[in-house]
Every structure is written in structure tokens, then in C-alpha cells.
């Protein structure tokens, strides 16, 4: 029996692996269905910047060979996966959706990518993003925007918009994104899928193009908490190539059935009354609070007095680190080289001016100013002090609770061009950025559609540092309270497809 495109799109990672193990279908048939889904759907969504059909088929052949020899199948055997295009994968370009790296061939494979492939996943390709991960809408990609599969006139969120949209549209079963200030959680919320940013250090950053090295963290997207847990199990853990990565002995998949009986879940009252938060977001959050309480969790009010300063600290620390990281794109060793330069100085200037888009230029200019002598005392040091205060807020909160429940974004997906003012865009990250500043893990979990907009809304589950299993317990319990939630976006339904 083969697998139809429609069936493929609704299967979980586990169901795909089990189906292959039972010989209901082969990994090659799964690869065929996934590539057919991309061919049918992606012209409308534009989640992919590069489709790696050959790599997907080669990986599928290896899984089918294991199956033929009755060997055990690894955890992600035959599971189609996509990678944000800031992750190196040998045999692909890694463009960061920038003209600067439009022709950049991955010189090696990032650890997170390599580990997913070692776990048997089928690489479908590279996914669209905001240029160098600067943004919240995927509108700054130099290769054109990605459309939200729930409403093609709206943004998918960002910066990992392609990663969220590919999963929501049923093209990829799971995907990887990166999150410096919300770039996994916010697009997950906008696209109605699960997205997880682990505690800083859980997943290696080796081979992922750096934005803010002290903030960046890789994490998975999926249509269920279980798929995200399986993917995280495959990619987490110490990597000798990233000295900030940590040993990880936890199986996140193993805690999903533990329930929340007796767990203390923190609520931040100030978040429920925060200005600029849409009513439907508050309604969704309150609904999740009620359901968790009914599952046996105890809700506890906690305060994060310094969290309101997180955005200000982030827009100092983030640009400073970005400025420093992006200085390597000098047109000599890395990056686009503009033609017709008079001398080396002119070459630097022209290449960087043409190679970077406006948002990247804004961040670089900001970072360069903030780090100028005489200026960094005024901004950079205080921002680091604020960072310590925020981190301490979370430590104190987690002395009282096992997890926190918060909004992801103050709103649901907006229309293209609606947040044209950069400051308005920056403000939309107020609930995600504090977690990156403190280094904790956070997950966006879909809890239905906004009552006013009809668009997906997520809630955020946050855990103590290196206790990400708490998040998975709470999220899995909460997910069971929402059995009715659709996980495939209707805007691209109608792709029934035949046998692949």
C-alpha cells in the first residue's frame, strides 16, 4: 500500500515511523508524498527556498534498506523535515534569506541538522526566514515573503516563518527553526503549530549562522507536542563544537503522559492586563488557565518585576551581538562581492551596502553605535545588568512554581505590511524576549482560534532553566484538553493528491 498526499499530511512523526516499520508504506513513498505536497502547495505558501529531493530520496532509501533487513528504525525514521535556511547542510546553500549569502554553499552540516538526519529524518530542504533572522514576519527575506497557510494575505510570523508554515501546511512533518527573541514561538502561534525554544545550551548552535550568540537557540516545530519532543530528543545534548551546549540526559518524549496533577503553574497578572494585548489573546490564555486547573494543576500568581525592561535590554544586546557577528561578511572571506570596486575599502562599503537589506543595516548601525567608545558605558553595560535582574526574576519565580503560562504574542497573524513601523514590530515580541534574555525554555502551543479574528492563537509555557521536561508535561496535558483543534491549515486544503 502506498501513501496518499492527503494521508501523509495528517500523519504524526510516530505514525510515519510505525507505518514504515509495519510495511504499510515505504520511506521512499513518504518522501514522494512529501515532495508532491510541496509541489502542490508551496507555490502558494513559499515556505521553501530550496527543495532537496535527491537528499530526501537518498535518506529514504537508507531507511527502506534498514527495514528490509529487519533492523531497528531510529526515532525519526522516514519523517520529512525542513531546516531554516540559517542552518548548514552539506549539498545545499545556506542563504539566511540574504543577498549577502545568496550563493553560499554550506561547507559542512550543522550539528542539529546532522543529528536529525542521523535519527532517520528525510531532509526536504531549506526554509524561508527574515533576513539573518531579524524580524517577526518573514517579510524581510530577500527571496520574497512566506504566506500564512491559514490566510494567505497574512504573515506567518518570523523569523522562522518558513519553518512554521511548512509544518502548518502539511508539507513537512517537523522542522527546525532558531529563536533569538521569539522566532520559533511567535510563528508557531501565528501558524497554529507547536514550536519550542529550549533552554539556552540544550541544542548545539554549531553550524547555525549566528545572530546573537548569547541568545540564539535552535528548536523544533511540529503539529503535536509529541512530534516536537521526539525531534528534540534527537537533536539535544552536548556537542564538542559548541562550548555552550550541555549534556542532556532527559527524554522529553518520556514525560508526556505524566500529567500535571500537583504541579504549580505560575500566572503573571500584569500580562493579563498589559496594554496593547488583543482581547482574544487574553481569552485564549484564560481558557488555558481554566483547563490546566481542571487537570489538577495549581495556579499561582507570580511577579516578574523587571521583565518589562527586557525589550530595551534585548534591543541593545541583540544588535551589539549581531553587529559583531555580521562583521565577518566582508566580501573577502564570506559574502557577496560587489563588482567594480576601486580599492579594498570601496569593496567593503559597496558589498555590505548592496548585500544587506534595510533591517540588517538598521541592526548593524545600531550595534555599531551602541558599542562605540563612550557609548557602551551608557547602554551595553546597563543592558547586561538588566539582563541579570531579569534572570533573577525567573529564578525567584521558579522557586514558587514548576512552569509559567503566558501569552506568546499580543496578537494573531497580521496582514502583510501592517506593521511597517519597525518599533511596532519590535514591540510585538514583549512576551517572548524575556525568556531569551534569561535563557529559559519556552513553548508555543496552539489553543484554538481567536474569537474575533478566527486565526490561530498560541499560549506560552515556560520552564526553569534545564528543566524543559516541565514544559513538555504541562504542554502535553494542555494539548489533551484541546482535542478539537485543527492542525492543518484550511487555506491549502483541497490538495487531495493521488497515490504518491
Residues that bind ligand GLN (CB under 6 A): 133-136, 159, 179-183, 211, 318, 429
Strand partners, 148: 151
- Rounded Cα distance between 271 and 337, Å, is 47
C-alpha of 51 from chain center = 19
Sequence-distant (≥ 6) Cβ neighbours of residue 273 within 8 angstroms? none
Helices 111-118 and 225-235 pack at an angle, to 10 degrees, of 110
Give which of 96, 92, 106, 79 is closest to 21, Cα–Cα. 79
Is 204 among the residues known to form the active site? no
To the nearest whole angstrom, how small is the minimum distance from the Cβ of residue 380 to ligand GLN?
Answer: 17
CA nearest neighbour of 315 among 356, 375, 373, 362: 362
Q: Which residue has the cell 543595516?
A: 361
* Smallest gap from residue 183 Cβ to ligand GLN (A): 3
Nearer to ligand GLN among residue 252 and residue 426 (C-beta): 426
Q: Which CB, 373 or 423, lies closer to ligand GLN? A: 423
**CA dist., res. 340 & res. 262, Å (int):** 68
Q: What distance separates the 2 farthest-apart alpha carbons in the chain?
A: 70
Residue nearer to ligand GLN on the CB measure, 151 or 359: 359
Distance of CA 56 to the CA centre of its chain: 22
**Cβ distance to ligand GLN smaller for residue 17 or 185:** 185
Least CB distance from residue 43 to ligand GLN, whole Å? 26
Task: Give least dist CB 434 to ligand GLN, A.
Answer: 12
Question: Quick count: other Cβ atoms within 10 Å of Cβ 112?
Answer: 29
Rounded to whole angstroms, the Cα distance separating 31 from 51 reads 12
Beta-sheet strand order (sheet of 403-407):
48-51, 122-127, 80-84, 174-179, 217-222, 194-197, 442-449, 456-462, 403-407, 264-267, 298-301
CB 358, min distance to ligand GLN, A: 13
Taking the C-alpha atoms of residue 161 and residue 136, their distance in angstroms, rounded to an integer, is: 8
Q: Which of 106, 159, 160, 163 is catalytic?
A: 159
Q: Which is nearer to ligand GLN, 25 or 206 (CB)?
A: 206
Q: Please, which residue, 218 or 401, has the CB nearer to ligand GLN?
A: 218
183 in catalytic set: yes
Answer yes or no: 214 catalytic. no
Provide, rounded to whole angstroms, the least separation between the CB of residue 133 and ligand GLN: 4
Catalytic residue among 106, 136, 137, 183: 183
Q: How far out from the chain centre does Cα 200 lie?
A: 14
Between 16 and 366, CB nearer to ligand GLN? 366
Query: Over the range 197-208, which residues count as b (16 or more CB within 10 Å of their CB) and which as e?
Result: bbbbbbbbbbbb
For residue 33, the 8-state DSSP code is H
Cβ at position 312, least distance to ligand GLN in Å: 13
The string of DSSP letters for 290-304 reads HHHHHTT-EEEE---
Neighbours of 237 (CB within 10 A): 17
Dihedral sign (CA 73, 92, 362, 418): negative
- From residue 272, alpha-carbon distances to 221, 275, 450, 482 in Å are 26, 9, 16, 21
- Closer to ligand GLN at the Cβ: 52 or 136? 136
Cβ 135 to ligand GLN, closest distance in Å? 5
Instruction: Specify the DSSP class assigned to residue 307.
Output: G
DSSP 3-state of 470? helix
Nearest-approach distance from CB 130 to ligand GLN, in angstroms:
7
Residue closer to ligand GLN by CB (options 64, 429) is 429
Residue of 12, 26, 84, 224 marked active site: 84
The rounded distance, in Å, linking the Cα atoms of 13 and 2 is 17
Query: Rounded distance, CA 19 to CA 27, Å?
Result: 9
Pairing of strands 442-449, 456-462: antiparallel
Query: Known catalytic residues?
Result: 84, 159, 183
Amino acid at each position: 500500500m502506498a501513501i496518499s498526499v492527503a494521508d501523509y499530511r495528517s500523519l504524526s512523526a510516530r505514525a510515519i515511523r510505525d507505518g514504515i516499520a509495519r510495511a504499510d508504506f515505504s520511506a521512499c513513498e513518504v518522501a514522494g508524498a512529501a515532495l508532491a505536497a510541496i509541489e502542490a502547495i508551496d507555490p502558494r505558501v513559499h515556505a521553501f527556498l530550496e527543495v532537496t529531493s535527491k537528499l530526501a530520496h537518498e535518506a529514504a532509501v537508507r531507511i527502506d534498506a534498514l527495514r528490509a533487513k529487519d533492523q531497528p528504525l531510529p526515532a525519526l525514521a522516514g519523517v520529512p523535515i525542513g531546516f531554516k535556511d540559517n542552518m548548514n547542510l552539506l549539498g545545499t546553500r545556506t542563504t539566511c534569506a540574504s543577498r549577502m549569502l545568496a550563493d553560499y554553499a554550506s561547507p559542512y552540516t550543522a550539528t542539529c541538522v546532522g543529528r536529525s538526519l542521523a535519527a532517520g529524518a528525510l531532509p526536504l530542504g531549506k526554509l524561508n526566514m527574515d533576513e539573518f533572522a531579524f524580524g517577526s514576519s518573514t517579510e524581510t527575506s530577500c527571496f520574497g515573503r512566506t504566506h500564512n497557510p491559514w490566510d494567505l494575505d497574512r504573515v506567518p510570523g518570523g523569523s522562522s516563518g518558513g519553518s512554521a508554515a511548512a509544518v502548518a501546511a502539511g508539507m513537512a512533518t517537523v522542522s527546525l527553526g532558531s529563536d533569538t527573541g521569539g522566532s520559533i514561538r511567535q510563528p508557531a502561534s501565528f501558524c497554529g503549530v507547536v514550536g519550542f525554544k529550549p533552554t539556552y545550551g540544550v541544542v548545539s548552535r554549531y553550524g547555525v549562522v549566528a545572530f546573537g550568540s548569547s541568545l540564539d537557540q535552535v528548536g523544533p516545530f511540529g503539529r503535536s507536542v509529541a512530534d516536537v519532543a521526539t525531534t528534540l530528543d534527537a537533536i539535544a545534548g552536548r556537542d564538542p563544537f559548541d562550548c555552550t551546549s550541555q549534556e542532556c540526559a532527559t527524554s522529553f518524549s518520556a514525560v508526556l503522559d505524566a500529567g500535571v496533577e500537583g504541579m504549580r503553574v505560575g500566572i503573571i497578572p500584569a500580562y493579563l492586563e498589559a496594554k496593547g494585548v488583543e482581547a482574544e489573546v487574553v481569552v485564549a490564555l484564560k481558557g488555558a488557565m481554566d483547563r490546566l486547573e481542571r487537570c489538577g494543576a495549581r495556579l499561582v500568581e507570580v511577579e516578574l518585576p523587571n521583565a518589562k525592561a527586557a525589550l530595551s535590554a534585548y534591543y541593545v544586546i541583540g544588535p551589539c551581538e549581531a553587529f559583531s557577528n555580521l562583521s565577518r561578511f566582508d566580501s573577502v572571506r564570506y559574502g557577496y562581492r560587489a563588482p567594480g570596486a576601486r580599492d579594498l575599502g570601496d569593496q567593503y562599503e559597496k558589498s555590505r551596502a548592496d548585500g544587506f537589506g534595510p533591517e540588517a543595516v538598521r541592526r548593524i548601525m545600531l550595534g555599531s553605535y551602541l558599542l562605540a567608545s563612550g557609548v557602551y558605558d551608557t547602554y551595553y553595560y546597563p543592558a547586561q545588568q538588566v539582563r541579570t535582574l531579569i534572570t533573577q526574576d525567573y529564578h525567584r519565580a521558579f522557586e514558587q512554581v514548576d512552569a509559567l503560562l503566558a501569552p506568546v504574542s499580543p496578537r494573531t497573524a497580521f496582514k502583510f505590511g501592517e506593521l511597517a513601523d519597525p518599533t511596532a514590530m519590535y514591540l510585538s515580541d514583549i512576551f517572548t524576549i524575556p525568556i531569551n534574555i534569561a535563557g529559559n525554555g519556552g513553548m508555543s502551543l496552539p489553543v484554538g482560534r481567536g474569537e474575533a479574528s478566527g486565526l490561530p492563537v498560541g499560549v506560552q509555557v515556560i520552564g526553569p532553566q534545564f528543566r524543559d521536561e516541565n514544559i513538555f508535561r504541562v504542554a502535553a496535558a494542555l494539548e489533551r484538553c484541546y482535542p478539537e483543534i485543527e492542525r492543518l491549515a484550511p487555506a491549502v486544503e483541497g490538495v487531495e493528491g493521488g497515490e504518491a
